Amino acid sequence: MTCFSTRPALLLAGMVALTVALGGGRAAASEMGDLVKTICLGAFNAEMQMAGKVAPAGMADYACNCVAKRLTDGSSLDGAKTTCKQLTAKRYPL
């Protein structure tokens, strides 16, 4: 399970860069986190559907909250994706 396609990943990277460039702040980080979660949930659900799998309850929220938290804490997009994929797979083995 990839959990992210290319377009949403590029949009997330742009949002992180914009937040950093504008000086961030709690409100900007919160808004970015909400946007990250929204994009992530869409990508997650699409990929699960394409794989013909049903995610256990809570799996999508766990994965997307993980990514949002790591991005708002300053992780790179690739780093957040890799870490959160591993943590999610460990917690919710399919």
Determine, yes or no, domain membership for 77.
yes
> What's the total number of domains in the chain?
1
Distance of CA 91 to the CA centre of its chain: 16
Which residues form the domain of 45?
6-91
pLDDT, residue 2, reads: 46
- CB-facing half-sphere around the CA of 35: CA atoms within 13 A: 19
In a domain, residue 27? The reply is yes
Domain membership of residue 1 (yes or no) is no
What pLDDT does 22 receive?
A: 47
Dihedral of the alpha carbons of 9, 58, 32, 29, in degrees to the nearest 10: -130
pTM: 0.71
> In tens digits, what is the pLDDT along the chain, a chain of 94 residues?
444 544 555 555 555 555 555 455 565 667 888 888 999 999 999 989 999 999 999 999 999 999 999 988 889 989 999 999 999 999 999 8
